[in-house]
Structure 1
Amino acid sequence: MYVRREKGPLFVTLADGSRLTRSDLPPRGEHRWVARRKAVVVHAVTSGLLTEEEACEIYGLSTEELNGWRVAMETWGPRALRATAVQKYRKV
């Protein structure tokens, strides 16, 4: 039996000391995005587990959408990724 090896690291260590692996990522082609899943994808991209291109291809995202999630996380934290909080954190 052949096990396909993914490119890149097997896991990354996040700032809080926890490990993030590819098995922790949301399922391929996810359509229902909650804040927790968005945060996991952003952490995977910023820590180097996934490239931006891989994330966009796997999840069907545009680069603008992924960058918007990243900016919201960096500026206001994971609470800004909630759909109900968009107006609170939107730049005017």
Structure 2
Amino acid sequence: MAAVRGGLLSLDEACSRYTLTVEEFLSWQTSIDQHGLAGLRTTQLQEYRKKQEYH
């Protein structure tokens, strides 16, 4: 994520390297921005999604 933001790695290169779609990468980036690294934990994502559904 930091390498893409810093211009060291393109979005396409990162997605290829880590076998991600652009949508997955951007979703991960949004989770980190909103919730920090804990936002990438599966259980944490599930909790955040539940909270968002109720709002």
Give the total of aligned pairs. 51
Shift of 1:60: 1.2
Residue among 26, 33, 42 paired with 1:67: 26
Larger relative contact order (Cα-Cα within 8 Å, sequence gap ≥ 6): 1
> Per residue, is there more strand in 1 or in 2?
1
Identity %: 39
**Structure 1 runs of 4+ off > 6 angstroms?**
none
Shift of 1:46: 1.6
Q: Distance in 2 between matches of 1:43 and 1:89?
A: 23
> Per residue, is there more helix in 1 or in 2?
2
Q: Distance in 1 between matches of 2:5 and 2:43?
A: 24
